[in-house]
Amino acid sequence: MITFVPEPHLLDSPRGREWPRPPAPPSPARGASPPASADVVIVGAGPAGLAVASALWHHGVHDVVVVDRTGRPCGRFFDRIDTLGQRVLRSPYEHHPGVEGFRDCELLDFARLHWSRLTRTERREIRMAQSGHRSVVPVDVFDAYCAHLATSHHVAEKAWQATVRAVEPGRDAVTVRTDRFSVAARHVVLCPGEERRSAPETWWGGGHPPRGVSFWDESVPSGAQCQVVVGAGLTAAHLITGALAAGREVQWVVREPGERYQCADVNSSFFRPEGRKRFDGVGWSERLELMGRFRRASIMFEFRPQLERAEAVGRLVVHRGEAVKEVAAAVGGTVVLRLESGRRVAGDHAVLALGTTPSIGTGLLPDDVVAARDGWPELDERTLSYRREPRVSVVGAAAGMVLGPAARNIDGHRVATTRVAAAIAHRLRHGVPAEVAAGV
């Protein structure tokens, strides 16, 4: 039997190195507004929005407006990663927002071009990737690659900072209304990603969390001595190792009977056609069952030795098979979590890492267009457009019930982007309905 040997030092790539950047036209000034109409508006400039904009560029669709709350390509993605202190990606070198089916610089090529800037470990990982083995990608390399894509595909200069409030289908155009401007589009692609999952209302009665409680995408106060972490995924693992490194003791509440370690965050077959095929031609309830079974929290193997060591010496106390019932900020600044078993767990700060929920267009599009069922939109399976509004499509987590659990991942965006960009380009060029275009 081959035993996988995790190497914790792989998690330690340096962050914040300078990378050469190609000359680029300036990005839109903050406060400026885009043209009043466009062929395509992309909502969200994360890895998904970047992939779509880059693919449309290859298809010759250049009249594109990208709208993002942060205004920066992949702004929220890297903000979240840096808040957690994450240094390497979980996904391999083949997973990147570069465009499939066109001559383009792959992430692996990009890393090799910058060989002299990489550490010995990072170079070894590249050799592993070249010979088809699992390897990890430094966040630094991925960040520089995304900046390279955004510049070389003219995405950065089309990215406007604003919050989209509504996407209103009309007779001649779909109007995208933001807090600052509106754009009338022939097509809209929603790439809003996922929002953090909030706590059940019963934990503290809803609304803002009590003092001393925060969510995974917020920073933890530096004065904390004993930190509670709730959640079983990679985010929780980052929070725990970050707290241990800061000299804190950690109480970890895991609802499952035990933590799960695996390389990718979903079974790797879902990154391949045979995995996606499991979602083809099967009924809704089977898809829901597959999502429930495979969209589960897990942690990269590399964390295991450190977490086990910390538990062995008592710096990490793991409450396995324990669900939180109530959270209260008690007197003296201590946060107390009451568990279903009746046990209490206390610390001076608690961080909730309860996962994410896909943004499916609810609140932006009319409800009858989204036609939400069990938290998922009703989509055309070939074009990923809303069945009731073919001019609006999705790329990202919202496509989960069509593409499977990897839809939320960088590789899932590549698959979705190929379909969506081809359908839009075809329709713009020939005026043929997108669903017909995707079928040709």
Please report, as ranges, the residues that interact with ligand FAD according to CB under 6 A.
43-49, 67-70, 75-77, 80-81, 84, 86, 89-91, 95, 163-164, 191-194, 235, 359, 396-397, 408-410
Q: Minimum distance from CB of 54 to ligand FAD (Å)?
A: 12
Q: Which is nearer to ligand FAD, 98 or 426 (CB)?
A: 98
Instruction: State the DSSP code for 152.
Output: H
Q: Which residue has the tokens 């942060």?
A: 70
Q: Which is nearer to ligand FAD, 191 or 425 (CB)?
A: 191
Distance CA 150, CA 159 (A): 9
Joined together, the tokens standing for residue 200 give 């059940």
- The residue of the chain with the least Cβ separation from ligand FAD equals 46
Amino acid at 16: G
Distance CA 250, CA 236 (A): 11
CA torsion, ordered 151, 187, 359, 176, to nearest 10 deg: 90
Q: Which is nearer to ligand FAD, 64 or 226 (CB)?
A: 64
Q: Which is nearer to ligand FAD, 86 or 322 (CB)?
A: 86
Handedness of CA 298, 271, 82, 217 (dihedral sign): negative
Residues in a beta bridge with 196 = 356
Q: Which is nearer to ligand FAD, 324 or 410 (CB)?
A: 410
Burial of 301 from C-beta contacts in 10 A (0-12 / 13-18 / 19+): middle
Distance CA 47, CA 60 (A): 20
Q: Minimum distance from CB of 104 to ligand FAD (Å)?
A: 18
| Three-class HEC string of 230-294 | ECCCHHHHHHHHHHHHCCCEEEEEECCCCCCECCCCCCHHHHCHHHHHCCCCCCHHHHHHHHHHH
Joined together, the tokens standing for residue 43 give 């909502």
Joined together, the tokens standing for residue 60 give 């010759």
Q: Minimum distance from CB of 67 to ligand FAD (Å)?
A: 5
Q: Minimum distance from CB of 1 to ligand FAD (Å)?
A: 28
Q: Which is nearer to ligand FAD, 299 or 335 (CB)?
A: 299
Joined together, the tokens standing for residue 128 give 């592993």
Q: Which is nearer to ligand FAD, 193 or 404 (CB)?
A: 193
Q: Which is nearer to ligand FAD, 209 or 231 (CB)?
A: 231
Any residues with CB less than 8 A from the CB of 250 and at least 6 apart, and which?
226, 227, 228, 229, 240, 243, 244, 310, 315, 316, 317
Q: Minimum distance from CB of 233 to ligand FAD (Å)?
A: 9
Q: Minimum distance from CB of 416 to ligand FAD (Å)?
A: 10
Question: Do residues 115 and 123 make contact, with C-beta atoms less than 8 angstroms apart?
Answer: yes
Q: Minimum distance from CB of 297 to ligand FAD (Å)?
A: 12
Q: Minimum distance from CB of 347 to ligand FAD (Å)?
A: 22
Joined together, the tokens standing for residue 309 give 């060591």
Residue 49: helix, strand or coil by DSSP?
A: helix
Amino acid at 303: F
Q: Which is nearer to ligand FAD, 91 or 151 (CB)?
A: 91
Q: Minimum distance from CB of 25 to ligand FAD (Å)?
A: 21
Q: Minimum distance from CB of 45 to ligand FAD (Å)?
A: 6
Distance CA 146, CA 323 (A): 39
What are the helix (H) ranges across 295-384? 304-312, 367-370
Strand 316-320 and strand 249-254: the pairing is: parallel
Q: Which is nearer to ligand FAD, 163 or 357 (CB)?
A: 163
